[in-house]
A and B are shown apart, each in its own frame.
Chain A
Amino acid sequence: MNDMTSEGPMVEFRKDLFADERDDNLNEVGKPTRRQDILGHVTGRSPFFDDHLFNGLLHMRCARSPHHHARIRRIDTSAAEKMPGVVRVLTGRDVPVNLNTLLSLLDFGLDDEPLLSETKVAYIGEPVAAVIAETEAQARAAASAVHVEWEVLPHVLDVEEAIKPGAPAVLDIYPNNKFVYHGKYDHQKLRYGDVDAAFRGVDHVVEGRYQMSPIEQAPIETCGAIAAPEQNDRYVCYTSTQALFFSLGTAAKMLKIPSSRLHFIGGTVGGGFGGKVDSIHEPLAILGTMLTGRPVKYAWDRAEEMQVGAPRGAERWYITDGVMANGRIVARKFIGYFDAGAYTRLSSYAIIKGVGHLPGPYTIPNVYADVFCVYTNRTPATAMRGFGITGVDFAIEAHMDKIAETVGMNPIELRILNAYRDGDMKAHRREAKNCALIECAQVVAEKAGVTLSPEFKAATSMTGGGGARAALPAFTATDEDGRVEGFAATSYAKKSGASSAPVPGAAPASRPARVQASAQSPARPAAQPASPPSAAPVHTADPADKKPARSGAMRFSSLSGFRRR
Chain B
Amino acid sequence: MTVHKGRGFAAINYPIGMNLGGDPSQALVHSNPDGKFTVALSAIDLGQGMKSVTRQIAAETLGVPVEDVYVDTADSDTGPHDMGSFASRGTHRMGNAVIRASEEARQVMLEAAAEELEVDAGDLVTDGKGNIHVRGAASRSITTMAAAQAAQFRQGRTIAGRGIFLIPLSEVDPETGEMSPVTTFAHAAMLVTVEVDDETGEVAVTDMQSAYEVGRALNPKLVEQQLRGGAWMGMSHAAWETTEPYYPTRDHRPEDFNTYIMPGPGDLAPHHISILERPAADGPYGGKGPGEMCANPVLPAVVNAVYDAVGVRIDDLPVTPEKVLRGIQAIGGAKPRQAL
Contact A29-B11, Cβ < 8 Å, known A9-B272, A246-B84? no
Task: Identify the B interface with A (CB < 8 A).
Answer: 7-15, 19-20, 22, 24, 42-47, 49, 51-52, 55-57, 59-60, 63, 65-66, 70-71, 73-77, 79, 81-87, 128, 166, 168-169, 171-182, 184-185, 187-191, 207, 209-213, 216-222, 224, 230, 233, 237, 241-245, 247-250, 253-257, 260, 262, 270-281, 285-286, 291-293, 295-297, 299-301, 303-304, 307, 313, 315-318, 339-340
Pick the most buried of B59, B189, B313: most chain A CB atoms within 10 A of its CB: B189
A residues within 8 A CB of B175? 189, 191, 478, 497, 512-515
A306 CB contact (under 8 Å) in B177, B256, B295 = B256
Beyond A218-B241, A267-B45, A478-B176, 16 additional pairs, beta carbon < 8 A: A14-B276, A18-B277, A18-B278, A28-B56, A28-B57, A30-B220, A68-B250, A190-B176, A212-B317, A314-B247, A339-B248, A361-B187, A385-B292, A398-B300, A436-B276, A447-B209
Q: Do B301 and A562 have beta carbons less than 8 Å apart? A: no
A397 to B272, CA, bound (A): 21
Pairwise interchain contact A245-B84, C-beta atoms closer than 8 A? yes
State whether the Cβ of A527 lies closer than 8 Å to any Cβ in chain B.
no
Q: Does residue A77 face the partner (Cβ distance < 8 Å to B)?
A: no
Which segment of A110-118, A140-148, A236-244, A544-552 sits at the interface? A236-244
Chain B residue nearest to A35 (CB atoms) is: B52
A480 to chain B: closest residue by CB: B175
Check B300–A397 contact: CB distance below 8 A: yes
Mask, A228-260, CB within 8 Å of B = 1, is 000000000000011111101000000000010
- In whole Å, how far is A474's beta carbon from the nearest beta carbon of chain B? 14
A10-24 contacts to B, CB under 8 A, are 10-15, 17-18, 21-22
Knowing A218-B262, A515-B175, say if A387 contacts B87 (CB, 8 Å): yes
B-chain residues with CB within 8 Å of residue A427 when the two chains form the complex: 177
Contacts of A388 in B (CB 8 A): 19
- CB neighbours (8 Å) of B242 from chain A are 213-215
- In the complex, per-residue mask of A480-523: 1 if CB is within 8 Å of any chain B CB, else 0: 00000000000111100101110000000000111100000000
In the assembled complex, the Cα of A189 lies from the Cα of B292 at a distance in Å of 25
Stretch at the interface among A86-94, A194-202, A289-297, A347-355: A347-355
* Residue in B168, B178, B181, B274 whose Cβ sees the most chain A Cβ within 10 Å: B178
User: Is A394 in contact with B300, judged by CB distance below 8 angstroms?
Assistant: yes
Judge whether B315 and A209 touch: CB under 8 Å: yes
A82 within 8 Å of B by Cβ? Answer: no
Among B245, B279, B317, which residue has its beta carbon within 8 angstroms of that of A21?
Answer: B279
Tell me if A564 counts as interface (CB < 8 A to partner B): yes
Chain A residues lying within 8 Å of B257, measured Cβ to Cβ, are: 302
Nearest residue, chain A, Cβ from B253: A307
- B-chain residues with CB within 8 Å of residue A192 when the two chains form the complex: 176-177
Instruction: Tell which of A53-61, A168-176, A177-185 binds the partner.
Output: A177-185
Which of chain B's residues has its CB closest to A301's CB?
Answer: B255
| Complex alpha-carbon distance, A396 and B297, angstroms | 10
Interchain Cβ contacts under 8 Å between A and B, 27 examples: A12-B273, A14-B276, A27-B60, A157-B249, A191-B176, A209-B315, A213-B237, A242-B46, A244-B44, A244-B76, A265-B76, A267-B73, A269-B44, A270-B46, A272-B85, A356-B20, A385-B233, A393-B10, A398-B304, A411-B304, A412-B11, A429-B176, A433-B281, A450-B9, A494-B171, A512-B174, A515-B175
Roughly how many angstroms separate A355 CA and B211 CA in the complex, as a whole number? 25
| A17 in complex: contacting residue of B81, B178, B253, B276, CB < 8 Å | B276
List the B side residues contacting A378 at CB < 8 Å.
244, 248, 250
B74 contacts A265, CB within 8 Å?
yes
B244: chain A residues within 8 A (beta carbon): 213-214, 314, 378
Q: Would you give the shortest CB distance from B59 to chain A, in whole angstroms?
A: 4
Docked-complex contact B66 and A28, CB < 8 angstroms? yes
A37 at interface, CB cutoff 8 A: yes
Which of A21, A213, A266 makes the CB contact (< 8 A) with B316? A213
Q: Which residues of A contact B187 (CB under 8 A)?
A: 361, 435-437, 439-440
Q: Which residues of B contact A394 (CB under 8 A)?
A: 296, 299-300, 303, 317
CA A415 – CA B285 in complex, angstroms? Answer: 29
Complex contact B42–A385 (CB within 8 A): no
Bound CA–CA A13/B216 (angstroms): 10
Chain A residues near B304 (CB-CB < 8 A) = 397-398, 401, 411
Q: Does A390 contact B (CB under 8 A)?
A: yes
Q: Is the pair A499, B178 in contact by a Cβ cutoff of 8 Å?
A: yes
CB distance from B221 to the nearest CB of A (A): 4
What is the distance, in angstroms, from B188's C-beta to the closest C-beta of chain A? 6
In whole angstroms, what is the CA distance A434 to B248 when docked?
A: 40
Shortest Cβ distance from B242 into A: residue: A213
**A102–chain B nearest beta-carbon distance, Å:** 11
State whether A268 touches B45 (Cβ < 8 A).
Answer: yes
Q: Does A325 contact B (CB under 8 A)?
A: no
Write the nearest CB–CB distance from B145 to chain A, whole angstroms: 18
Whether the Cβ atoms of A266 and B172 lie closer than 8 Å is no
Interface centre among B14, B47, B222, by most A CB within 10 Å? B47
Partner among A214, A265, A268, A383 whose Cβ is within 8 Å of the Cβ of B247: A214
- What 0/1 pattern do residues 425 to 451 of A give for CB contact below 8 A with B? 001111001111101110111011010
Residues of A within 8 A of B191 (CB): 444-445, 447-448, 450
